[in-house]
Amino acid sequence: MSAAYKRFTTRGVIAGAAALAGAAALALSFSAWSAEAYPKALDRAIASGVKVVRSFPAASHLTGWVLSQNGRYSIVYTTPDRKTLMAGALIGEDGESLGARYEETYFPKPDLGALYQQLEKAAFVVEGSAHAAGNTLYVFVDPNCPYCHLTWLALQAYEKAGLQVRWLPVATLGPTSLPKAIEVMAAADQPAAFRKMEESQGKPWTPSSAVSAQAKPALAAAIERNGELMQRLGIDGTPGVIWKDKQGKIQVKGGMPRLSELPAMTGLPEQASSDPALAKYR
């Protein structure tokens, strides 16, 4: 399971930063400073469209640089002589993750209101009917994600109690994720196709050429846009859940929710679940 979303997890940032540092061919788009203001260690990465969001003073006289590419943020550091670029975990002498603190402080916060409006217009499968007493949940789901399947199981009782779930398919976990997602979205009865997919979780499945990206380019593009929207919401893996709390504030959670969290997320009383697969998530 990949959790986050949303704030970027330290693991995700480290991986992103390491890729940025190791590629040596990343581009930097500088709007606030002239090219001469950047260390050559950053200048070497000019060609691939990465943007410098800002710099900041970091521990031990390092300079931190917040970088952005395709809606994802990461941090790298340069040494005081500006000749060396570093990427990875930055840990203080007391064991504090300085990188995590810098992420919280310096990563731009997503415009959740605008992104929520995009969710409402995205490609999704609807399960359940909205009830006045309950929320509507948006959940990003990959067909091959076992934790998405567990989330689906956990929400079934809430759907019966009045919850509506809008499942947004993405394709991030292997070559069969996209054709499986296309098959669901292309079905005449999307909820039935989605249920079949979830009930078949873990079983062998051979994609048909009729549900390939080449055969269904519009659906493939819609699923790709879902993945981009997931990233902009700060969710770095599936499942990712978005909802409005009782105060109308938009909430984002990456990863499989605990069963104890579901009443607050759904706005409904706790629903009993005896499925042994969910026991460890109580």
Taking only the tens place, the pLDDT of each residue in 60-84 is: 999 999 988 766 788 999 999 988 9
Model pTM? Answer: 0.69
Taking only the tens place, the pLDDT of each residue in 223-254 is: 999 999 998 898 888 999 999 998 889 999 99
Angstrom distance (rounded) from CA 11 to CA 279: 27
Report the range of poorest mean pLDDT among 7-11, 163-167, 193-197, 264-268: 7-11
Please give the C-alpha separations between residue 8 and each of 11, 223, 244, 248, 263, in angstroms, as whole numbers.
8, 22, 20, 23, 25
Angstrom distance (rounded) from CA 200 to CA 129: 24
CB of 181 closer than 8 Å to CB of 192: no
Angle subtended at Cα 81 by Cα 69 and Cα 86, rounded to the nearest 5 degrees: 40
CATH of 10-109, one of 1.10.1060.10, 3.10.450.70, 3.30.70.990, 3.40.50.2300: 3.10.450.70
Q: Cα–chain-centroid distance for residue 259?
A: 21
Residue type, 268: L
pLDDT value at 171 more than 80: yes
Report the range of poorest mean pLDDT among 37-41, 65-69, 97-101, 117-121: 37-41
Report the range of poorest mean pLDDT among 3-7, 142-146, 187-191, 220-224: 3-7
- What average pLDDT does range 113-131 have in this prediction? 90
Q: Cα–chain-centroid distance for residue 266?
A: 20
Taking only the tens place, the pLDDT of each residue in 28-62 is: 343 444 444 777 777 766 456 778 888 999 999 99
Dump the DSSP string for 129-166.
---TTS-EEEEEE-TT-HHHHHHHHHHHHHHHTT-EEE
Q: Where are the domains of the chain?
A: 10-109, 113-281
Q: Does the domain formed by 113-281 have CATH 3.40.50.2300?
A: no
